[in-house]
Amino acid sequence: MSVPHAIFVSGVAGFVGSKLARLFVDRGYPVFGFDDLSRGSRENLSGLLTHERFIFEKVDLSDAGAVRSRFMNCHSRIPISEVWHMAANSDIASGIADPSVDLRDTFLSTFNVLDAMKEAGIPFLAFASSSAVYGDLGEAPIREDVGPLLPISNYGAMKLASEALISAAVEDWLDRALIFRFPNVIGVPATHGVILDFVRKLRGTPNKLNVLGSGRQRKAYLHVDDLIDAIVYLRANASERLGYYNIGPEDKGVTVSFIAETTVEAVAPGAGIEIEYGVEDRGWTGDVPRFSYDIAKIRALGWRPQLGSADAVRKAVVEIVRQEANL
Ligand SMILES: NC(=O)c1ccc[n+]([C@@H]2O[C@H](COP(=O)([O-])OP(=O)(O)OC[C@H]3O[C@@H](n4cnc5c(N)ncnc54)[C@H](O)[C@@H]3O)[C@@H](O)[C@H]2O)c1
């Protein structure tokens, strides 16, 4: 039997990247995974690190020279046919405090990955973009062709700039690219996000939960199992040279207060923990307070999510409480 070409996953020690690497290894692919472990961890790769088809390298993807040489080295060992670029800064607020974070981890990582791919002649890129590229468009469900795109965070700006780089590469040398505009994705291994924040806050102050913002922010949430299902579905079924898709639930989302109440109930059932809300409609600068997707484009290809936002939150809360209890 011939060995399949390898798949490269950046951000492999993170929430989505680690799940994706596991899936490809289980499907029989050799997987090269790069991560600088700034936000991901080796624990997220447990079981994979010792797997014969998985090779991990600690690399800072904003370092052009390191990316090029380490990538070419992997490619010469087993030819890489696909790149899944999942690495980025996943903490929007930290990129507001220091814009160089998103320049480096969100934009330069994409620039350098594309540069290495061009050098090696890799034909396919899958890219984790974000709803943040749309900015704040209010209540109406967002379609992929809405415009102008005016992000309100440096993170969103650097994701949009990355999409633009990919578009230019497709025009020039890249055979095919898929851009996934993720919504808020939840589940385990959780590395960041509102549920993890709440669970950790409750560990510090068990009698009270402090919530950033009024709690009325309403957003769409997708469980990571649905997300992974959607992106591998698009890999098999989207035929455009440059495909770009919203991925999300079919509803208008749930409020932050729903998430706070669900988390409090899971951490200490019936304990009557006080939830304290702020006054602002936004949790922080760059936060988009209301957001839902129109997912007709991916629906038309035949994919739909298993869980709506509320059930995704209920499931993820249970998983994240368990994750934190085992630390
Ligand atoms: N989780 C979500 O809700 C969500 C929403 C929209 C978009 N996304 C995008 O999906 C992708 C995966 O997100 P995630 O939730 O798994 O985040 P994550 O933080 O768990 O994973 C990102 C990984 O990238 C790594 N990384 C960051 N900068 C790096 C660098 N310079 N060099 C090497 N590695 C680096 C981190 O260490 C981390 O392991 C990201 O591109 C993110 O922007 C996620």
Confidence of residue 50 (pLDDT cuts 50, 70, 90): very high
Q: Is 92 in the pocket of ligand 1 (CB under 6 A)?
A: no
- Determine the angle formed by the axes of helices 224-237 and 15-26, rounding to 10 degrees: 50
> Where in 170-273 does DSSP place strands (E)?
176-182, 184-186, 208-211, 218-219, 221-223, 242-246, 254-255
Which tokens in the block code for residue 239? 């035929």
Is the pLDDT at 246 greater than 80? The verdict is: yes
CATH number, span 190-220+251-291+308-325: 3.90.25.10
- Summarize pLDDT for 66-100 with one digit per residue, the tens: 999 999 999 999 999 999 999 999 988 888 889 99
What is the pLDDT averaged over residues 219-231?
97
Q: Does domain 6-185+222-246 have CATH number 1.20.210.10?
A: no
Residues 6+ apart with CB under 8 A from 115: 64, 67, 68
Distances (CA, A) of 81 to 55, 191, 269: 16, 28, 49
Q: What is the pTM of this model?
A: 0.96
Cis bond upstream, residue 189 (ω within 30): yes
Q: Is 130 in the pocket of ligand 1 (CB under 6 A)?
A: yes
Bridge partner residues of 211 (DSSP): 277
Q: Which atom belonging to ligand 1 lies closest to the Cα atom of 17? A: 16
Residue whose CA lies nearest to ligand 1 atom number 9: 128
Confidence of residue 2 (pLDDT cuts 50, 70, 90): low
Interval between CA 57 and ligand 1 midpoint (Å): 16
Distance CA 207, CA 230 (A): 39
Given a contact cutoff of 8 angstroms between Cβ atoms, the answer to whether 312 and 223 are in contact is yes
Residue 3: predicted pLDDT:
63
Location of structure tokens 């607020």:
93
Is the pLDDT at 258 greater than 60? The verdict is: yes
- Summarize pLDDT for 285-321 with one digit per residue, the tens: 777 878 889 999 999 999 999 999 999 999 999 999 9
Confidence of residue 1 (pLDDT cuts 50, 70, 90): low
Interval between CA 236 and ligand 1 midpoint (Å): 23
Where are the chain's structural domains?
6-185+222-246, 190-220+251-291+308-325
Q: Is 309 in the pocket of ligand 1 (CB under 6 A)?
A: no
Which tokens in the block code for residue 220? 């769409």
